[in-house]
Structure 1
Amino acid sequence: MDLSLLSKEFKSQKILEGTDVSGSNEPDRISHLPDGLLCYILSFLPTKFAARTAVLSTRWKDLWILVPSLDFEINPRDNYKGEIERFANFVDRLLVIRDHLSIREFRFACGERFDFERLYAWMWIVIMSNIQVLHLHVESLVAVGELPWSLFSSKSLVVLKLSGRFVLAIPFTVSLPSLKVLCLKSVIYTNDVSIEKLLSCCPILEDLKISRERWDNCLNSVISHPSLKRLTFEFYGDTSMGSFREAAGRFKYKLSVKAPNLEYLKLEDYTSDHILVDFMPCLNEADISVMNLKKEDYWTRNQRCRYGRSICGMLQNLSKVKHLSLSGDTLRGIRTVFDGRLLIFHNLVRLVLGYDYLHGPTLLPPLLGACPKLQSIVLPDGMTSTCQEMGIDMDQYVEYRWKPPKDVPECLLFTLKNIEIKCFCGEEPEELRLVKFLLKNAVVLEKMTLFCHEYCDDIYSFRDELMSYKRGSAACQLEIFPEVYSSAHHYELEFERGH
Structure 2
Amino acid sequence: MSERGTSCCRTEEDRISFLPDDLLCEILSHVPTKTGIMTSVLSTRWRTIWLSIPLLDLHTDDFPNFTALASFTSWFLDGSSCLHKLKLAFGSVRTIQDISNELLKLSFNFGKNIQDISNEPSYLMTKWINSAVTRKVQHLDITFLYPWIVEMMPLSIYTCETIVSLKLCNVSLADSENVSLPCLKIMHLVGNVYTSNAFLEKLISSCPVLEELTVVRNRDTEYDLRVLRVCSKSLKSLVVDLDGRKCWYRDFRVVVIDAPGLNNLRLRDNQFTSYVISNLSSSAKVDIDVSFAKRSSVPDMTTSSSKRSVMRSFFTMLSSVRDMTISQTTLEGICLYLKHEPVPQFPYLIRLHAVLYSSDLRTLPNILQICPNLKSLVLALSYLRMEELHVFSSSSVPVCLRSSLECVEIKTPIRGAVTEIELVKYLLENSAVLRKFKMCLRRRRMNEESNISMKLLRLRRCSPSCEVVVQLE
Residue deviations 1:99-127 (CA, integer Å, cap 9, x gap): xx221111111226455321211001001
| Equivalent in the alignment of 1:163 | 169
Q: CA deviation at 1:22?
A: 9.5
Is residue 242 of structure 2 the alignment partner of residue 235 of structure 1?
yes
Q: Which secondary structure does the structure 2 equivalent of 1:256 belong to?
A: strand
Q: Which secondary structure does the structure 2 equivalent of 1:88 belong to?
A: helix
Q: Cα–Cα, structure 1 residues 296 and 66, in superposed 2: closer, same or farther, change >3 Å?
A: same
Is residue 136 of structure 2 the alignment partner of residue 130 of structure 1?
yes
Q: Cα–Cα, structure 1 residues 374 and 283, in superposed 2: closer, same or farther, change >3 Å?
A: same
| Equivalent in the alignment of 2:90 | 110
Q: Cα–Cα, structure 1 residues 30 and 20, in superposed 2: closer, same or farther, change >3 Å?
A: farther
Aligned partner of 2:191: which letter?
S
Is residue 316 of structure 2 the alignment partner of residue 316 of structure 1?
yes
Q: CA deviation at 1:47?
A: 1.4
Is residue 19 of structure 2 the alignment partner of residue 33 of structure 1?
yes
Instruction: Give the whole-Å Cα distance in 2 for the aligned partners of 1:381 and 1:259.
Output: 33
Q: CA deviation at 1:227?
A: 1.8
Is residue 185 of structure 2 the alignment partner of residue 180 of structure 1?
yes
**What is the 5 A alignment of 1:79-94?**
83-94=65-76
Query: Runs of 5+ in structure 1 lacking a partner?
Result: 1-17, 239-243, 387-394, 486-499
1:157/1:176 contact within 8 Å kept: yes
Instruction: Give the whole-Å Cα distance in 1 for the aligned partners of 2:264 and 2:198.
Output: 24
| Equivalent in the alignment of 1:15 | none
Aligned partner of 2:88: which letter?
F
Calculate the aligned-residue CA RMSD, in Å: 3.0
| Equivalent in the alignment of 2:118 | none
Residue deviations 1:142-200 (CA, integer Å, cap 9, x gap): 35321110100011011000112x11213111000111110011111212212211111
| Equivalent in the alignment of 1:154 | 160
| Equivalent in the alignment of 1:343 | 344
| Equivalent in the alignment of 2:112 | none
Q: CA deviation at 1:312?
A: 3.4
| Equivalent in the alignment of 2:55 | 69
Instruction: Give the whole-Å Cα distance in 2 for the aligned partners of 1:337 and 1:160.
Output: 40
Instruction: Give the whole-Å Cα distance in 1 for the aligned partners of 2:370 and 2:152.
Output: 49
| Equivalent in the alignment of 2:465 | 475
Is residue 204 of structure 2 the alignment partner of residue 224 of structure 1?
no
Instruction: Give the whole-Å Cα distance in 2 for the aligned partners of 1:413 and 1:258.
Output: 36
Residue deviations 1:37-72 (CA, integer Å, cap 9, x gap): 111011122213323444545543432221112211
1:106/1:126 contact within 8 Å kept: yes
1:414/1:443 contact within 8 Å kept: yes
**What is the 5 A alignment of 1:64-463?**
64-75=50-61, 83-98=65-80, 101-111=81-91, 113=96, 114=99, 116-140=122-146, 142=148, 144-164=150-170, 166-213=171-218, 215-238=222-245, 244=246, 246-247=247-248, 249=250, 251-293=251-293, 295=295, 298-302=298-302, 304-338=304-338, 343-357=344-358, 359-381=359-381, 385-386=384-385, 396-397=387-388, 400=390, 403-404=392-393, 406-421=395-410, 422-428=412-418, 431-452=420-441, 458-463=448-453
Q: CA deviation at 1:356?
A: 4.0
Alignment TM-score, normalising by the size of structure 2: 0.83
Instruction: Give the whole-Å Cα distance in 2 for the aligned partners of 1:43 and 1:19.
Output: 34
Q: CA deviation at 1:281?
A: 2.4
Alignment TM-score, normalising by the size of structure 1: 0.79
Instruction: Give the whole-Å Cα distance in 1 for the aligned partners of 2:441 and 2:147.
Output: 42
Q: Cα–Cα, structure 1 residues 427 and 162, in superposed 2: closer, same or farther, change >3 Å?
A: same
Percent pairwise identity? 28
2:301/2:336 contact within 8 Å kept: no
2:282/2:322 contact within 8 Å kept: no
Instruction: Give the whole-Å Cα distance in 2 for the aligned partners of 1:269 and 1:450.
Output: 30
Query: Runs of 5+ in structure 2 lacking a partner?
Result: 104-121
Q: CA deviation at 1:224?
A: 2.0
Q: Cα–Cα, structure 1 residues 26 and 191, in superposed 2: closer, same or farther, change >3 Å?
A: closer
Q: Cα–Cα, structure 1 residues 469 and 49, in superposed 2: closer, same or farther, change >3 Å?
A: closer
Instruction: Give the whole-Å Cα distance in 1 for the aligned partners of 2:307 and 2:7.
Output: 72
| Equivalent in the alignment of 2:35 | 49
Aligned partner of 2:16: which letter?
I
Q: Which secondary structure does the structure 1 equivalent of 2:230 belong to?
A: strand
Q: CA deviation at 1:35?
A: 1.8
2:260/2:278 contact within 8 Å kept: yes
| Equivalent in the alignment of 1:391 | none
2:334/2:343 contact within 8 Å kept: no
Equivalent pairs counted in the alignment come to 439
Instruction: Give the whole-Å Cα distance in 1 for the aligned partners of 2:426 and 2:287.
Output: 27
Instruction: Give the whole-Å Cα distance in 1 for the aligned partners of 2:334 and 2:149.
Output: 38
Q: Which secondary structure does the structure 1 equivalent of 2:65 belong to?
A: helix
Instruction: Give the whole-Å Cα distance in 1 for the aligned partners of 2:287 and 2:12.
Output: 53
Q: Cα–Cα, structure 1 residues 62 and 413, in superposed 2: closer, same or farther, change >3 Å?
A: same
